[in-house]
Every structure is written in structure tokens, then in C-alpha cells.
Amino acid sequence: MKRIDLHVHSNQSDGTLSPKELVRHALSCGLSAFALTDHDNINGLTEAIKEAEHCNVELIPGIEFSTEYHGTDLHIVGLDFNWNDPDFLPSVQFYQEERLRRNQKIIDKMAADGIDISWPQMEESFGNAMWTRAHFGRYLVEHHYVESINDAFTRYLGEGCKYFIPRQKVSPFEVIALLHRFGGIPVLAHPFQYRFTDEELRTLLKSLKECGLLGMEVYYSGYTHKQEEYLLALASEFHLAPSGGSDFHGTNKPNISLGSGTGNLQLSYDLLDGLRHARATSSHFSRRS
């Protein structure tokens, strides 16, 4: 079986491996293909694709967008889009600028309370990656303000905590339209993370499907067989192609392995074929090149 992983992060967002290292790690894990899906940016794609050309691994362009739906932080993974279209980067500039604005506010608020942090110090630790709250959590651990990243989120960075700064977000419907504009495949990420009831999830899927959602992560690190069966039935009901991924972050999520997640994932290349077929037969599909 040709194995794949369609949800992977590098150090260009909140992972710890570089894009080049990810390609080599995917090869060592026996993967035929994987999608680099960093948060709100494609900064790692050039390096990853260049390295993949020298390895027997297919690199699928990806991105994970943070959106808001009825007050819930909802993630849409975009796969296999025209990432080198000259209009794509300007179209996602908003998401990157929002992260930069949020990050500066977190730094300013922490510094005002006596935490030894600044933009240059963050750059020294994490370079020019698209920083997420996980980066701030690592900074707090490394500078001995907390013992673990989980502790950082519980005390400082989680929703409702003092240094939680919300970002201005867009709706998932806008992101889905954007991905179709550049020939991509929009996928609802980790549906159980949002803690929706069955009725709420069905309402969401109906709305997203009508706007062009093509896939849903049925297979994800830690999902039980019963959960997968439930999501597979929903995917069939709403004519969505099943997707799956580990959500690998390197040492930031040490219990999750590339390709196999927490040990339960064995994802076939057939999933990617199914997603591409859903795109090819969708009335929303853009043939822009």
C-alpha cells in the first residue's frame, strides 16, 4: 500500500522540523506522499518541493486556515492548490498580517507584566516562522516561566487566559471560495475538536458542502475505530471525500508520529485519489492555472 499523510506541520508554523527535514523524515517513514499544511502560510513549500524532487516522495501543497464559525475556531485544510500562482500569496496576506498583529500584542502585553520577551528575542529563538501560540508556549518553557507547553496554555495562552489575544478571522465559506479559486481541495480538519453535537455538525457540513467543501478528515491521530466509522458515514451522507492526517508537529507533539499518528493511522494513496476525483467532478472546481 502506498502510504500518505495529508496534515503535517513544519517549523514555518508550529512544527519543529524544517521542510527539508520533513521530506527526509517522510522518506524514512515509508511514505509515498505527504501534504505540508502549515498554519496560514506556504513559506515552506519551495524548500520542501525542491527536496522532494531528490527523494521518492510526492509533496502535496497544503495550508491550514484558521476561520471562525459561530464563535468556534474552525480549521480548513487546503490541499493541492496552485500555490505558485502569482495571485495566491497576495490573497493569503491578510491571514499572515493578522498573525503578526496578534503576536505583537502578545509580546507587548507580556513585556508590560515583566516577562522578559521582545520581538528580537522571539526571532532569535524561532526565526521568521509564522509564530503560533505554541511558539510562545515554548518560549515560556525555555525561559523557565512554566514547566511545560500545556502549563503555558493553561495559565497564560489558552482561551480566557490573560495573554490570549483573538485574531480577526474570516468565515470558512470565504476560505473555501479562495481555495476553489486556485484549484484547491477544501477539507474540514479534525471535526471532533470542535465538540459539536451531532445536529450541530450536520448543520455545519450541510452549509459548508453547499459552498464547496469537498472533504473531511475522517482519519486523524487518536480517533477510535468507532469515531472513524461515524465520520465515514457522515462523509458519505454529505458526499464528502474522506481525508486523513497525523497533524504531525515534531517534538511539539511528541506522541504523534509522521504517517502513523498515535499508532492508529495507515492512510492509503487512494484517499488522495478520492479527493482529487471530488475536485474534478465538483461544479465549484476552478481550472485556473
What would the pLDDT profile of 139-186 be if each residue is shown by its tens digit? 999 999 999 988 999 999 988 899 998 877 789 999 999 999 999 999
Residue count (the chain): 289
How much is the pTM?
0.87
Tally of CA atoms within 13 A in the half-sphere of 76 that contains its CB: 28
Q: Which of 170, 169, 151 is nearest to 161 (CA)?
A: 151
Q: Predicted confidence band at 95 (pLDDT cuts at 50, 70, 90)?
A: confident
Q: What mean pLDDT value characterizes the chain?
A: 93
What would the pLDDT profile of 206-251 be if each residue is shown by its tens digit? 999 999 999 999 999 999 999 999 999 999 999 999 999 999 999 8
What would the pLDDT profile of 262-284 be if each residue is shown by its tens digit? 998 999 999 999 999 999 999 77
C-alpha distances in Å from residue 128, one per residue of 14, 140, 143, 232: 12, 18, 20, 39
In angstroms, the first-to-last Cα distance of the chain is 31
Structural domains of the chain, ranges and CATH numbers in brackets: 3-86+171-280 (3.20.20.140), 93-157 (no CATH)
DSSP string, 179-233: HHHTT-EEEE--GGGG---HHHHHHHHHHHHHTT--EEEEEETT--HHHHHHHHH
pLDDT of 289 > 50? The answer is no
